[in-house]
Copies of this chain bind each other. A is one copy, B any other.
């Protein structure tokens, strides 16, 4: 089980259901979640699953998590520390209104919809009236909640002259500076608002973004979207660290999401960090990185491993055998050369080891690149951090300057967003900013 997949305390799976009486619909949904006997301690409905709670623990990881619900409400937004779901649909929106009350109205409407979408319910109550357009588009009807999370953020442009919010812009929330080698296409950059939809089912994530875009009609339009994937739980029952499309494990060095103090240091804004409305929030950096797969595929295994600074098979640092062995940049071979090349991706990303960020990236495959005729495939890099300048920007400047991996990739999209603090029951998305 990878670090990223360890359970954490903030969003306990199915936690929101433990405190309330289960109705018939909940029961039906829950009995569809094969792991539930274990999640509920095998008590409430263990009998439905037969003797499931007696199966050896090695079988547990095989269970699907379709029925699991990640609570939408909380002190922080879900979809950040949440162990990465298998699929992503990322969406950046542009506001078409110039009226702040309409922005507020949109975020209130999105709040109501998001609470339904993340719990696997149909949106609204106009789904049986023949004379109306259904309030839910229906393609996820009958599907499990699939750990769907929706994470909302504000881009730098929300604080321009349109809405009178300029004084509330966090100093660090600005378009990223140019990095060496960038080849950005405006069609994959920026956005007034973003929604990161993650779920263990792609149709569930698509359905969420499609319905949020529908609700936004007249107030906001989609600016860009990108679908992403990791491996499914069925394909990887042990929950290993996923591999990127270059064949290497990606996410091994992530900080531990169950370590509250570490998350307070690395991810969450405190009330002393910046504008008060961002306390409990975090900053998201998004980069669309096309991988030059065809060039990579012609390089030798030793080149590939020296490029990453890790072994392909195990994910361990060069010279080590354990994926999670510490990246020790001082270890040398017999000739006195460092085993992990100083210009390898791992070494440069690691730096002096004091600066971390929480990465939550997905692979993408989007047909062919019209210019090269080669696969347009790569990584939608997403990271969360307390401080964009000290964490993402400092790291990316180091990487852009000399990362061996630069030969095999090109950054084609870029955006940053201030992810709002968590949504309280009865509150709405972005309330600390707009309330």
- Chain A interfacial positions (CB closer than 8 Å to B): 32, 34, 49-52, 54-56, 59, 62-66, 86, 89, 127-134, 137-144, 146, 187, 200-204, 206, 210, 213-214, 221-222, 224-227, 229-238, 240, 242-248, 293-294, 297-302, 304-305, 312-313, 363, 365-368, 370, 373-375, 377
Contacts and interface: CB of A to CB of B under 8 A. Distances in A.
B234 A134 contact: no
Nearest to A227: B365
Q: Is the interface of A mostly helix, strand, loop or mixed?
A: loop
A141 B297 contact: no
Given A51-B51, A139-B246, A141-B247, A206 B365 contact: yes
Nearest to A312: B138
Contacts of A206: 245, 363, 365, 377
A222 B366 CA distance: 13
B237 A64 contact: yes
B366 A366 contact: yes
Given A229-B203, A232-B201, A375-B210, A132 B64 contact: no
A148 to B, nearest CB: 10
Contacts of A204: 231, 235
A66 B235 contact: yes
A134 to B, nearest CB: 5
Contacts of A304: 134
Contacts of A238: 32
B225 A368 contact: yes
Given A138-B248, A203-B243, 7 more contacts: A32-B238, A66-B237, A139-B243, A140-B243, A210-B375, A222-B373, A224-B367
B59 A236 contact: no
The count of identical subunits is: 2
Contacts of A214: 294, 297
Contacts of A144: 234-237
A64 B66 contact: no
Contacts of A131: 300-302
Contact of A293 (B203, B210, B242): B210
A198 to B, nearest CB: 13
B300 A132 contact: yes
A226 B376 CA distance: 11
A170 B138 CA distance: 42
8 contacts: A64-B237, A66-B234, A138-B247, A144-B236, A200-B234, A201-B235, A203-B242, A366-B367
A303 B138 CA distance: 15
B297 A368 contact: no
Contact of A142 (B56, B227, B240, B298): B240
Contacts of A377: 206, 210
A64 B62 contact: yes
A322 to B, nearest CB: 16
